[in-house]
Amino acid sequence: MTEKTTKSTRDVPAEATGTFHVPRLDQQLCFALYSASGLMTKLYRPLLDPLGLTYPQYLAMLALWERAPSTVGELGEALGLDSATLTPLLKRLEAGGLVTRRRDPADERRVLVEPTAKGQALREQAKSVPAAMLCNLPL
């Protein structure tokens, strides 16, 4: 078992705090990752618009195509989303006729989500997205 250790700025001795230089925004790894994520979403948009999906909806459908039915909790874990974010996304997919949500008969507290026939048919159209994305990458 490994012990998780983190240091915050509070852990740095007072005499040492003046020796650290805070990198500019464009030098921050977190900003580079944030910018790359935004660019990827932007590059996906023209590929997903004809499918009627946003990027987060596309990711949810990918997860459901892999393992359905899934509980909202399982889907949230797979996507790294909490239920407050995921529930409205699923409601939009349900309104579009792409997924169904229903209570788990074995445990009424759980909600099961799965693609409808229309949602499954969309999978065929979405198969071209990864290859098209690779062709569109400005590398």
Measured N-to-C along each axis, helices 83-95 and 55-66 cross at an angle, to the nearest 10 degrees, of: 90
Structure tokens at 18: 């003046």
Per the listing, tokens 């590398």 go with 139
Percent of the chain with pLDDT over 90: 79
> Taking the CB of residue 51, how many other CB atoms lie within 10 A of it?
16
Structure tokens at 98: 């792409």
Whole-number Å distance between alpha carbons of 133 and 90: 24
Architecture field, domain 25-136: Orthogonal Bundle (1.10)
Helix (H) / strand (E) element for 24: namely: none
Structure tokens at 96: 């579009």
Query: Phi, psi (5° rounding) for residue 108?
Result: -60, -15
137 with 39: CB under 8 angstroms? Answer: no
Average pLDDT over residues 3-25: 65
Average pLDDT over residues 44-67: 97
Report which of 70, 27, 62, 65 is spatially closest to residue 44, judged by C-alpha positions.
Answer: 62
Query: Phi, psi (5° rounding) for residue 20?
Result: -95, 135
Decide if pLDDT at 132 tops 90: yes
57-70 pLDDT tens trace: 999 999 999 999 99
Percent of the chain with pLDDT over 70: 86
pLDDT band at 12 (very low <50, low <70, confident <90, very high): low
* pLDDT (0 to 100) of residue 20: 72
